[in-house]
Amino acid sequence: MGYALIISEVRRGVFEERNLDSIGIANLAGKDACLLIPEGNYNINSNMVDRIIKVKIEESLFLNPLIITGLITKIMDSLGLPDMVIFTHSSSGIEMASYLAGKMGLPIITDISGYEKNGDIFFKSYYSDKVFGQFRKIKDNPLILTVRSGSFKDFATDKGKQVEETTVEGLSDIEERSFVEYVEEEKTGVDITKAEFLLSLGRGIGNKDEIPKFEELAQLLKATISGSRPVVDKQWLPKERQVGTSGKTVKPKVYLAMGISGAFQHIAGMKDSECIIAVNKDPEAPIFQYAHYGIVGDANKIRDKLKDIIQGG
């Protein structure tokens, strides 16, 4: 059967929800799921895995690719080679996985969003989910994966058996690179995760000058403005308004997306909204796959039309 070594993602005492996708793909592939985690009081349903290895290490060192590679080497020495080493597809997961692959000369597939057991095929998306590539491993060496958030969590279920738990010594910090501190983002008091109605803006609105016009619409709709990452990167909106994997996860009653394509990093942050309405001029835009209602058209013209209608024009 073989085993899958899962490198957990932990942040400031929290076991990140996206780890469930790493556990899920290990279970789906029928591997013994072996979870590597720093020692601490993390909130985990340990019955979802077969084995937990706790590492006596500070949490911040667990983000370091050099240290993780050292730890994985130690575990491979004692347990033998795993079939897979699984990371989350996050900024730290991608960094650690690619370092490990380069250092050990192992195959890697990043951003896995699907798996077919028959044939051992992994799926990875291109062009914002419009095309999928299929991959399979050729040699018998461990395959390194990074797993897309939200793809496999349904397979992270209770295995109904006793979990084996061991504790191993960690490694001390290394000189090449050292974690300094987390820096909190600047806050202006708007919490988009609490809003019931989000009017979310994407690059498709064109330029920064359009923002005040959308703010007027938001006022009329009693909505809060949020946005995609490019809109934040271009400083049209502050960072705290960003929805997505590197922003906030939101679940409003209504999510009105205007000029947003629907890249998975964005979708992961809003797909559980009760009602999703998308406005996009491209009928093939991926966001329409997730929307309950869709309007194909120019976001700025539709904004003005909506304002007219609400104002009785």
Separation CA 42–CA 111 (nearest Å): 25
Strand order in the sheet with 197-201: 224-227, 197-201, 254-258, 275-280, 293-296
Q: Give the single-character DSSP code of 255.
A: E
SS3 state of residue 262: coil
Burial classification of residue 134, based on how many CB atoms lie within 10 Å of its CB (0-12 exposed, 13-18 middle, 19 or more buried): exposed
Residue (91 or 178) nearer to ligand FAD, CB: 91
**Does residue 82 contact residue 143 with C-beta atoms inside 8 Å?**
no
Residue (33 or 199) nearer to ligand FAD, CB: 199
- Binding mask 180-219 toward ligand FAD (x if CB under 6 A, else -) reads ----------------------xxx---------------
Least CB distance from residue 204 to ligand FAD, whole Å?
A: 2
Percent of the chain as helix, strand, coil, to the nearest 5: 30, 25, 40
Residue (141 or 246) nearer to ligand FAD, CB: 246
In Å, the largest CA–CA distance within the chain is 74
Least CB distance from residue 39 to ligand FAD, whole Å?
A: 29
Under the criterion CB under 6 A, does residue 150 sit at the interface with ligand FAD?
no
Under the criterion CB under 6 A, does residue 88 sit at the interface with ligand FAD?
no
Which position among 142, 150, 244, 294 is part of the footprint of ligand FAD (CB under 6 A)?
244
Under the criterion CB under 6 A, does residue 149 sit at the interface with ligand FAD?
no
Which residues lie near ligand FAD (CB under 6 A)? Answer: 91, 202-204, 228-231, 242-247, 259-261, 263, 265-266, 269, 279-282, 285, 298-300
